[in-house]
Amino acid sequence: MGVKVNKVKHFIIEALTTIIIAALITIVLEAFVVDNRIIPTSSMYPTIYAGDMVLVNKFVFRFQTPERGDIIVFEPDENISEDDLIKRVIGLPGETIEVKNRQVYIDGEPIEEPYLNEAPQYDFGPVKVPEGHLFVLGDNRNLSFDSHRWPDPFLEIKSVKGKAFFRYWPLKRMGTL
């Protein structure tokens, strides 16, 4: 009888230890490495739909700066939103951005955007992106509240929280971004 009790105690201790270690690893990962986000709007459609769940790499920008095409999560100015936003990096520091004739131009050259479902139906700029800042747009260009609609169209790089890199829900659209 004593052997059975010891086996049960040993099993319970091992199970609790495993649960505690898993919880600690999860806490550390979420605090420093990866974040889980549920996308609240369709501003990144068709790349990301409202309700999609994505993982965000919070570690990557400790070693590099965002690049054109990166899908980033950031904390906007409080006059724009109290919630974090997700957009695509379009303009980098020192570049001149203009939207005209349904096309985005960087330093006078049109850029290819195969991820768009619909071309922009507005004109904007030209504006020069200041040092330490980015110009960001949602993939759903005509409905996204982004740099082309903000009072100050530039996002401070220090406001970037991470890079969205993987959609895990819904399962039928699971994959890298």
Which one-letter DSSP state was computed for residue 147?
Answer: T
CB neighbours of residue 96 within 10 Å: 15
Mind listing the pLDDT tens digit for each residue in 28-66?
888 888 999 999 999 999 999 999 999 999 999 999 999
Distances (CA, A) of 93 to 65, 66, 90: 11, 11, 10
What pLDDT does residue 4 have? 76
Q: Is 27 helix (H, G, I), strand (E, B) or coil?
A: helix
Please name the amino acid found at residue 113.
E
What pLDDT does residue 1 have? 57
Regions of the chain where pLDDT drops below 50: none
CA distance 54 to 167: 4
What pLDDT does residue 135 have? 99
> Hey, which residues are catalytic here?
43, 87
CB neighbours of residue 100 within 10 Å: 14
If we measure between CA atoms, which residue out of 86, 97, 163 comes closest to residue 130?
97
